[in-house]
Amino acid sequence: MYHLLLLALFFSTAPVLAQETRPLYPGEVPNSRPVPDPETTEQRPSGGRAISKVAVPELTAYRPAHPNGRAVIICPGGGYARLAYDKEGVWVAERLAADSITAFVLKYRIPQDATNVDKSLAPLMDAQQAIRTVRQNAAAYGVDPHQIGIMGFSAGGHLAATAATRFSLPADPNETDTTSVRPDFVALLYPVVSFDSTITHTGSRRNLIGDLPGEAQVHLFSADEQVGPQTPPAFLVHAADDRAVPVQNSLRFYENCLRNEVPVEMHLYPSGGHGFGLRNPTTPDDWMERFTNWLRIL
């Protein structure tokens, strides 16, 4: 409760934020089936809205009064079954905007066979389209097109890590736009990184690539194995006692960044569990402050 009161006070004194929502795609959503929109929203007592069955992706901008030129696209978690839209999206965006960073919450498609032709591609297509959209409209948003990063929590961390390691080709095979979809930096919060069955979050893996994926698909969707010299600088946060997504996910990504000489910073807490959002209740340390400080030295 104390932390919630502090956050409420912080946001009540922050500059007024301009907020705007736009469809992620200007026309028809690619890789989608023509079915009624099945989206549902649940209001949770402490975590805000949880949105399920997303089929129509959107991008919501949170624009600070005095933008510093940096932008962060936020991918909420939820096991690729739902989006923790407020706790790991809106509240994070508001905090970033209060620090003069232009933030975007990505309501990406939930991978589901009923609404997607190939469900495994839908979230990455949306993440790439979000980067493309912000970069193409950088001047209008008041951001530097070379300072656009992506942040993700849990399964949203898997999406952000995938976007940061698989940017050389568009996820949509029919995409003709040549705007770069490489993020300039990536932040991963208690992320699902690997689909290796020994350390993965089984639900996230199953929801994205099914119950019996082939070995090649498992490797392709293990973001730690896709890290290369062109992977953007990375910032990671995890708790050692995370029972839902083992800390080895972050450790593997960190180690492969080191092997490829990718700048990387990692903060490991001894406790905190999974899904703590903006504030780990077991420590007074503020990972967001560490993140914004890290951005200043990139």
pTM: 0.94
Compute the distance between CA of residue 182 and CA of residue 70 in angstroms, rounded to an integer. 15
Q: Residue 280 to residues 52, 57, 143, 274, 283: CA-CA distances in angstroms?
A: 25, 29, 30, 9, 6
Give the C-alpha separation, 80 to 112, whole Å: 9
Question: Sheet containing 264-269: which strands, arranged edge to edge?
Answer: 18-23, 58-63, 102-107, 71-75, 148-153, 186-189, 234-239, 264-269
In this prediction, residue 18 carries a pLDDT of 75
Residue with tokens 């469809």: 23
User: Which sign, positive or negative, has the C-alpha torsion 32, 36, 38, 41?
Assistant: positive
The pLDDT tens digits along the chain (298 residues) read: 444 444 444 444 456 467 999 999 999 999 999 999 999 999 998 899 999 999 999 999 999 999 999 999 999 999 999 999 999 999 999 999 999 999 999 999 999 999 999 999 999 999 999 999 999 999 999 999 999 999 999 999 999 999 999 999 999 999 999 999 999 999 999 999 999 999 999 999 999 999 999 999 999 999 999 999 999 999 999 999 999 999 999 999 999 999 999 999 999 999 999 999 999 999 999 999 999 999 999 9
Long-range contacts of 37-45 (CB under 8 A, 24+ apart): 38/114, 38/115, 41/85, 42/82
Domain ranges of the chain: 2-296
Query: Which pLDDT belongs to residue 29?
Result: 98
What pLDDT sits at residue 258?
Answer: 99
CB count in 10 Å sphere of residue 203: 15
Q: What is the structure's pLDDT at 15?
A: 60
CATH topology for the 2-296 domain:
Rossmann fold (3.40.50)
What three-state secondary structure class fits 190?
A: coil
Q: Are strands 102-107 and 58-63 parallel, antiparallel or unpaired?
A: antiparallel
